[in-house]
Every structure is written in structure tokens, then in C-alpha cells.
Amino acid sequence: MKKNLIYMFSFLLVGFVLMSFNNNFQTGKYEELSKDGFKNLKILPKNISKDSLMSLMEGYNKALGVKCNHCHTMDKSSDKKHEKEIARHMIKFTNELNAKEFAPIGDQYKNAIECATCHRGSTKPMSDTKTFMESKK
Ligand code: HEC
Ligand code: HEC
């Protein structure tokens, strides 16, 4: 009889522990979807976490040698700056190029192309290439 009670207690305890885990998990997930909910994402995944979005944005800064205001006004969700629209095309073709033309070559190529592959700290890769080619003449 006593043994049975102990069994029942441990059973309940495990149940409670599991329930609280499950609860924590669900609130965490909910927060990631709503608190970080960005307003105007057309290319990046809508449920992207704040951390992932910010590390992408900081990567753009480095690759182009700019600050956030090169593409953004104070309101980051605004589409006022043409550079932001250009960047959307760039993100799209970079992702497509990797997925369609590089990933099939081999797994190690699936992220072969990055903003920095062309930009290398500059907003003007076209003129950089021209200067480079001219210097080889
Ligand atoms: C090269 C251009 C570029 C730079 C530099 C850049 N961003 Fe962005 N950012 C974008 C683009 C493009 C989007 C929209 C992506 C989409 O439509 O999926 C965006 C979206 C965002 C959003 C989401 C806004 C919303 O609610 O829709 C935030 C926040 C943001 N950027 C912050 C930053 C910060 C902070 C920096 C500097 C650390 C930065 N960005 C640098 C291009 C840039
Ligand atoms: C295959 C090469 C290539 C890749 C990869 C690339 N770009 Fe570009 N990007 C260019 C070229 C070429 C231009 C035209 C600018 C010039 O040289 O006049 C440009 C222009 C831009 C501009 C406008 C520059 C300005 O004058 O302000 C932005 C913003 C930009 N790219 C963002 C990005 C971002 C963000 C990525 C990564 C997601 C990226 N680019 C990846 C080649 C590239």
C-alpha cells in the first residue's frame, strides 16, 4: 500500500515537471514569433528571430562598409530608401544563386556567395572591378 502511494507521488511529480517544461517551451516560442515580429519583411522569413536578423544586418554593414542608415531611415520598417529595395534584390539573387547553382555542386558550396564576395567593403563593386581590370592592361 505504502509502495503504491510512493509510485503515485513520483508519477505526479514527473507529470508536473514535464508540464512546466512544456509551458516554458511554449511561452518561449510565442515570444519569438510576436515580440520580435517585424513589420515589413518581404524576402527574409517572417518569423526570423531578432538575433538572426541583427546578425544579418551587421553582416551587410561589414560587407558594404556602411552603417545601418545606408539602407534605413529611423523607422527600420520604412521603405523610403532606394538602397533598401536594391538590397532586397541582392538578398534574393544571392540566396537563389547559392540554392540553385552552388548547392548542387556540393554541400560545402551551399553558402559560397555572400554579399562580401562582390562588395568587399565597398558599395561600388562595378567601379572596383573596372579599376582592377584597367590596372591589368
Ligand atoms: C544593405 C542594406 C541594409 C543595411 C546596411 C541594413 N539593413 Fe536592415 N534591412 C535591409 C532590408 C532589405 C530589410 C528588409 C528585408 C525584407 O524585406 O525581408 C531590412 C530590415 C530590417 C529590419 C526589420 C524592419 C521591419 O520591421 O520590417 C530591422 C529592424 C533592420 N533591418 C535593422 C537594421 C539595423 C539595426 C542595421 C544596422 C546594424 C541594418 N538594418 C542595416 C537592408 C539593410
Ligand atoms: C555577384 C556580385 C554581388 C553580390 C553577391 C552582391 N552584390 Fe550588391 N551590388 C553588386 C553590384 C555590381 C552593384 C552595383 C553597384 C555599383 O557598383 O555601382 C551592387 C549594389 C548594391 C547596393 C546599392 C549600392 C549603393 O550604391 O548604395 C546595395 C545596397 C547592395 N548591393 C547590397 C547587397 C547585399 C546586402 C548583398 C548580400 C545579400 C549584395 N549586395 C550582394 C554586386 C553584388
Q: Do residues 58 and 71 make contact, with C-beta atoms less than 8 angstroms apart?
A: no
Which residue minimizes the CA distance to atom 25 of ligand 1?
Answer: 77
Q: Span 101-120, mean pLDDT?
A: 97
User: Ligand 1 center to residue 17 CA distance, Å?
Assistant: 40
Look at residue 37 in the predicted model and tell me its pLDDT. Answer: 82
* Predicted model pTM: 0.83
pLDDT 10s digits, 15-52: 555 555 544 344 444 444 445 789 999 999 999 999 99
The top-level CATH class assigned to 50-135 is: mainly alpha
Domain boundaries, the chain: 1-35, 50-135
The residue ranking higher by pLDDT, 72 or 28, is 72
pLDDT 10s digits, 77-103: 999 999 999 999 999 999 999 999 999
